[in-house]
Amino acid sequence: MSAVTVRVPAKINLYLGVGPARPDGYHDLATVFQAVSVYDEVTVRRADAMSVQVIGPWAPEVPIDQTNLAWRAAEAVARAAAVEQAFAITIDKSIPVAGGLAGGSADAAAALVATNEVLGSSLSWDDLERLAAGLGSDVPFLLHGGSAVGTGRGIELTPVLTRGSFHWVLATFASGLSTPDMYADLDRRRGPGFTEPPEVPESALRALAQGDPHLLADQLANDLQPSAVAARAALADVLTAGRDLGALGGIVSGSGPTCMFLVGSESQALDVAAGLRASGLVNSALSVHGPVHGARVVTG
């Protein structure tokens, strides 16, 4: 196969429970992921030397060297397949960067699938999952997509039954927040005595199974939100503005700064997004739905 393009969605965390810091520096999570309909497209082709090119308005924010997770994903696939081959990777980026939407992890998931396809699919899905876990905590979920409970570092996944589609508005900002800084701030707030293990409430899973956005709105929660709001005070105003515009509920997505609002319908999503854009508080507001599938080949 000469060139393969894979489309991959962003993720949100409807619920993000964070446990105490572990000796390895990570935190045990109890989270509900949902893949939502804003996508990057990653194209991988054989080349004489490794390269990454990024297209789109976010391009200046994205590294184009081996610190790009897609580069490391392509190399990991070649190594696991015992092939000496370099790749030219093109990322057509629509997922906001450093926003708590796992855009970098999404590109890695896409690069795993695309590179394996370019090399004749010698690795199994299990192999790709193992490589995904080595690249980052959100990468395994973005291979799968849909809705899932994530435990451990976030890489042990259990699919979650959902009915219908949920409509969301994602309010994004021009600059990101550091994920490790948000976790470190949470540890400081809790102090060294904190030992409580995180748990996804049954009521959140019931709301998803019933496809009821009103029930789900009451279950949205994120342990990292106070840290994100402390790092960027304007997020509190954005969360209030979204609710005032009619959103059923809103929280910070992952480690932020993106704020995600649950709304009752697609038309309400368009209204809330337009209102947030007009407020001048946010860089952009996207109307999306979920769950959607994970990394999938679209051409090749």
Residues at the interface with ligand C5P (CB under 6 A): 26-27, 29, 136-138, 153-154, 179-180, 183
Minimum CB distance to ligand C5P, residue 24 (Å): 9
Minimum CB distance to ligand C5P, residue 50 (Å): 20
Minimum CB distance to ligand C5P, residue 98 (Å): 11
65 vs 84, beta carbon nearer ligand C5P: 65
Give the type of residue at 268: Q
143 vs 245, beta carbon nearer ligand C5P: 143
Locate 34 and state its tokens: 């949902």
Cα-flanking dihedrals φ and ψ of residue 248, to 5°? -75, -30
Whether 138 is catalytic is: yes
With a CB cutoff of 8 Å and minimum separation 6, the contacts of 68 are 52, 62, 89, 91, 104, 107
**How many angstroms separate the CA atoms of 15 and 98, rounded?**
19
153 vs 206, beta carbon nearer ligand C5P: 153
**How many angstroms separate the CA atoms of 123 and 277, rounded?**
44
For residue 167, the cross-strand partners are 263, 289
153 vs 277, beta carbon nearer ligand C5P: 153
Quickly list H helices, the chain: 69-80, 103-118, 125-135, 139-144, 179-190, 202-210, 213-217, 225-231, 234-244, 266-279
Q: Which of 11, 40, 107, 223 is catalytic?
A: 11
**Which long-range contacts link 155-158 to residues 24+ away (Cβ below 8 Å)?**
157/33
Q: Which of 40, 93, 107, 138 is catalytic?
A: 138
Minimum CB distance to ligand C5P, residue 117 (Å): 24
Locate 267 and state its tokens: 């038309």
Give the type of residue at 234: A
**How many angstroms separate the CA atoms of 238 and 242, rounded?**
6
Whether 93 is catalytic is: no
Minimum CB distance to ligand C5P, residue 28 (Å): 7
90 vs 227, beta carbon nearer ligand C5P: 227
* Residue positions annotated with a catalytic role: 11, 138
